[in-house]
Chain A
Amino acid sequence: MQWETVIGLEVHVQLATQSKIFSGASTAYGAEPNTQACAVDLGLPGVLPVLNENAVAMAVRFGLAIDAEIPEISVFDRKNYFYPDLPKGYQTSQMGQPIVGAGEVEITLEDSSTHTVRIHHAHLEEDAGKSVHENFHSQTGIDLNRAGTPLLEIVSEPDMRSPKEASAYVRALHTLVTYLGISDGNMNEGSMRCDVNVSVRPKGQESFGTRAEVKNVNSFRFIERAIEVEVERQIDLLEDGGTVVQETRLFDPDRDETRSMRTKEEANDYRYFPCPDLLPLMLDQAYVDHQRTLLPELPAEKRQRFKEVLGLSSYDAAVLTATRAMAEYFEQVHTRCSDAKLAANWVQGELSGRLNKENLDITQSPVSAEQLGDLLLRLKDDTINGKAAKQVFAELWSRTFETADEVIEAKGLKQVTDTAAIEAVVDQVIADNPIQVTQYKDAEPDKRGKMIGFFVGQAMKASKGTANPQQVNQLLKQKLDALL
């Protein structure tokens, strides 16, 4: 039987606010356990939550970016359950009336085809703390630094049909939230966490199969793999005559499997009800309009502009807009050298290659966009040739010089364009290589083009790479052909 996979995702995005969603404690990552948990985060008696305005603004900007409705009223609810890292015994979340209504996100697959994933809604909630099992000798430690960190939970419709679509969707969200500046998008630090709802159904069947929720899938790589193994499990089960039960499962990347955490019967009854400590959140049109003015250029708009205004190919535009940092770097290089194609080639070629090799993010590049832009300007105005440009880049990378001009000066890489000087070199090369000159003269005319490469090489070597290669080429051809 042919099976179709149906996937929906719940993505928790940690918002990049300075302080927590309901308290003034810092949200910075990596502090000593329990040093960033104030009385409110600890759930001490008598304390009350106060909503962080910034978290609201960020959620609204996300909603506007996915073209969603921003309801005038949204409500915070309490989701009640007991867990040691949940200090109050309830999580403050939004159940019935979330801050962001239905919207949509466009995703691009590897074959450049695009699909639309509908967003059911997105809501604000607080994160829980962490249970720490290491170093406590069969006891559990609780770190509440993360408790109260603002999360935006983005809930998609079951619109994805393959692991690739699911990971493309998460990538699109990642791009979007980092563009919006509402999250650092750092997957390693848990800034984006996904729960994946997976079901399968016979191809052509309209109704959905029973779904399993795979929890806490926290890297692009694992999203695809978790879905693949879960789909395999469900298909095997069904083909053996079994049934899929609705349950929560955990992906174990080490054992490459998902396993049951709890079934529907064991599921908590969360006893949601409106949080009486927080009034309904009212957002008027003026507020929403103001947030709209704060939206940056979004990835889709940027891609469009790169193609139409800068004349880049679809491929280049897509690569260069993949992250906001990449796009900003490229744009700075372009501003400096005023040659979009040249800037695109270098950012994607020399720079990206080197970054990948050393496993660096573009924000960590030793060569700044200004440095690269100035370097490309020298290439463009023929001060140096391509080969020298690579050498300059290498010097800038190792930070031995501040600017491209300094490297060019210190290393004598300035391109020689003086015709007399080049002519002298060319004449010398012809005089020094009589055998090759004879071979050239005797060769079939259509072979001579290739043979001229030898002379160009010799001339470049003689000029220590500084001669303008086009000029050398042209002169050699003139002089050699004159000997015929």
Chain B
Amino acid sequence: MHDLTLAKIAQGLAKGEFSSRELTQHFLERIEKYDSRFNSFITVTGERALTRADAADTQRAAGQAGILSGVPLAYKDIFCTEDIRTSCGSKMLDNFKAPYNATVVEKLELAGTVNLGKTNMDEFAMGSSNETSFYGPVRNPWNTDLVPGGSSGGSAAAVAAGLAPAALGTDTGGSIRQPAAFCGITGLKPTYGRVSRYGMIAYASSLDQGGPMARSAEDCALLLNAMAGHDPRDSTSVSRAVPDYTQSLDAPLKGLKIGLPREYFGDGLDEGVERAVREAIAVYESLGASVIDVSLPHTQHAVPAYYVIAPAEASSNLSRYDGVRFGHRCDDPQDLMDLYKRSRAEAFGEEVKRRILIGTHTLSEGFFDAYYKKAQQVRRLIRQDFLDAFEKVDVLMGPAAPTTAFALGNKADPVQMYLQDIYTIAINLAGIPGISVPAGFHEGSPVGLQILGPHFGEAHLLNVAHQYQQATDWHTRQPDLP
């Protein structure tokens, strides 16, 4: 059952081929059996999951099941889940249980899904390798010497290893797409505002967006159907009708105009990755698409602009972790300052501290204009690059990451790590949607093809990705687990 897509699982449940309990039991057993190798879960909610599964089976017997009823899922541990620990990968929240569900959790629960547990992640979503987690690094199911990517590395690894049919991730600078690429699964970052951020612990509020990570574009469409929509509790969520994302999956691609941004095929791109991506594009040409060379001239400024804006917002967003009301508090504080300093020093990891420091500095009096304001101006230019490109083409394609998964401990220099997100970060700055789909392997590691579309163009993106998956079978490959 673990090699089935969500769509097939939904069919199987509908036809009575298996029950939700059997399915849930199966995944829980696999987690039990294999996850010590990958460390993809922080919390497994077995009993609760089985109770939910039984409820879904009862509902189905009563003829009241929806398409996702009884389907097991996992949540990145950044989504608040009522009465289940939400750690955000940090010692700071090791003891935190939210008294509420994130809006997307609420919606998916309402749709009848079964929560298997909470997946590992880089601490507060800050990282591209899943090595900054307080709960230890996650290992790539294709090769446990390698990282799964980050920050949604636990979700990506769990889906790749068949420990969950699908999982939710969040993407602030590539945190869904890069781990999806490294683990050989499909991951969609929706348009900013398409999915509610309520109950999703904030890293950089103007960039964060939750999205599905699954075995196929079709699975992502099924999940996005349940996740998307305006939320009165999130002022930045957009009030715009949600289409049925599965409806347009089968539209033919004849006449599709694909733009290849020349900046995404330059220095630093691994040859093997480039080869796989170009082969994928050739498949599209065989499906009737045409390829046009385009330019996104401000691409080189995306990483620097991101590392001003995201840490600035993070420095403020993470101020609430002060040891006063919840989360970690140091022992025997001498006074208020001591309480603040030690609680935060003890419970935040190095990368989180680094970004708080950067953000605090760039927002300081006398530096604001040179950093934050300038970065926002750059952000507008980057957005304009994409708007201009989408005047000429329907979608943009390129690699999701410059390399395939790298070895644990390989990127000790933070700047080297930051450059991992060179092809994904601009997309968050522009607010547009992007999807990473498996496009072959290089030296045994999966390669991700990234497809980008204009704001709210998810339906078309999913269609384009699905057609590729109809023509290829990369997305069906799974690592051999002995």
Contacts and interface: CB of A to CB of B under 8 A. Distances in A.
A84 B197 contact: no
Interface stretch (B92-100, B176-184, B425-433): B92-100
B18 interface: no
B300 interface: no
A269 B365 contact: yes
B320 A48 contact: no
Main secondary structure of the interface of A (DSSP, over half): loop
B235 A50 contact: yes
Interface stretch (A38-46, A404-412, A419-427): A38-46
B322 interface: yes
A334 interface: no
Interface in A23-72: 39, 42-51
Contact of A278 (B88, B235, B336): B235
A33 to B, nearest CB: 13
A51 B93 CA distance: 28
Interface string B197-212: 1111110111000000
Given A78-B316, A271-B360, A273-B368, A48 B325 contact: no
A45 B232 contact: no
B201 A276 contact: no
B325 A45 contact: no
A89 to B, nearest CB: 2
Contacts of A47: 100, 198-199
B313 interface: yes
A279 interface: yes
Nearest to B366: A269
A315 B28 CA distance: 83
B233 to A, nearest CB: 6
Contact of A84 (B235, B312, B324): B324
Contact of A80 (B100, B322, B324, B363): B363
Contacts of B322: 82, 84, 89
B441 interface: no
A51 B372 CA distance: 25
Contacts of A273: 312-313, 316, 363, 368, 372
A277 B236 contact: yes
A209 interface: no
A80 B319 contact: yes
A46 B325 contact: no
Contacts of A80: 315-316, 319, 363
Contact of A46 (B200, B236, B336): B200
A201 to B, nearest CB: 27
A276 B207 CA distance: 9
B364 interface: yes
Residue with the greatest number of chain B CB neighbours at <10 A, chosen from A48, A49, A88 = A48
B365 A142 contact: no
Contact of B98 (A45, A49, A82, A279): A45
Contact of B316 (A48, A89, A279): A89
Contact of A89 (B100, B320, B368, B372): B320
Contacts of B99: 39, 44
B234 interface: yes
Nearest to A37: B325
A45 B205 contact: no
Given A44-B98, A273-B316, A51 B235 contact: yes
A44 B199 CA distance: 9
A84 B336 CA distance: 8
A46 B102 contact: yes
B100 A39 contact: yes
Contacts, number: 101
A271 B364 contact: yes
B320 A277 contact: no
Contacts of B80: 45-46
A43 B320 CA distance: 7
Nearest to B361: A271
Interface in B173-229: 197-202, 204-206
A276 B313 contact: yes
A115 B232 CA distance: 46
Specify which of A78, A271, A277 lies most central, judged by the most chain B CB atoms within 10 Å of its CB: A271
B432 to A, nearest CB: 17
Chain B contact residues: helix, strand, loop or mixed: loop
A90 B360 CA distance: 13
A87 interface: yes
Interface in B55-69: none
Contacts of A84: 322, 324, 336
B364 A46 contact: no
Contacts of A279: 235-236
Interface string B69-81: 0000000000110
B191 to A, nearest CB: 15
Interface in A244-302: 269, 271-273, 276-279
B319 A45 contact: no
Given A89-B319, A273-B368, A48 B98 contact: no
A80 B340 CA distance: 15
B477 to A, nearest CB: 35
Contacts of B232: 50
Contacts of B233: 48, 50
B120 interface: no
Contacts of B197: 48
B86 interface: yes
Given A45-B86, A46-B198, A48-B197, A82 B235 contact: no
A142 B326 CA distance: 13
A40 to B, nearest CB: 9
A78 B206 CA distance: 14
A144 to B, nearest CB: 8
A389 B236 CA distance: 64
A46 B368 contact: no
A88 B363 contact: no
B320 A45 contact: yes
A50 B230 CA distance: 13
B313 A48 contact: no
Contacts of B98: 39, 44-46
A88 B320 CA distance: 4
A278 to B, nearest CB: 6
B1 to A, nearest CB: 32
Contacts of A39: 98-100
A51 B234 CA distance: 10
A48 B102 contact: no
A48 B96 contact: no
A46 B320 contact: no
Contacts of B313: 273, 276
B325 A42 contact: yes
B170 to A, nearest CB: 11
A140 to B, nearest CB: 8
Contacts of B360: 271
Contacts of B365: 269, 271
A84 B206 CA distance: 26
Interface string B303-327: 0000000001101101111101110
Contact of A87 (B202, B204, B325): B325
B261 to A, nearest CB: 27
Counting chain A CB atoms within 10 Å of each CB, the highest count among B88, B316, B363 belongs to B316
A272 B233 CA distance: 24
A279 to B, nearest CB: 6
Contacts of B202: 45-46, 277
A78 B319 CA distance: 11
Given A49-B235, A80-B315, A88-B319, 15 more contacts: A39-B99, A44-B99, A44-B320, A45-B96, A45-B98, A45-B202, A47-B199, A50-B234, A82-B322, A89-B319, A90-B319, A269-B365, A272-B363, A276-B206, A277-B202
20 contacts: A39-B99, A39-B100, A44-B98, A44-B99, A45-B98, A45-B321, A46-B98, A49-B235, A51-B235, A80-B316, A84-B322, A87-B325, A89-B320, A90-B316, A90-B319, A273-B313, A276-B205, A277-B202, A277-B205, A279-B235
Question: Which 9 interchain pairs have the tightest Cβ spacing?
Answer: A89-B319, A271-B363, A276-B205, A276-B206, A43-B320, A46-B199, A45-B201, A46-B80, A46-B201
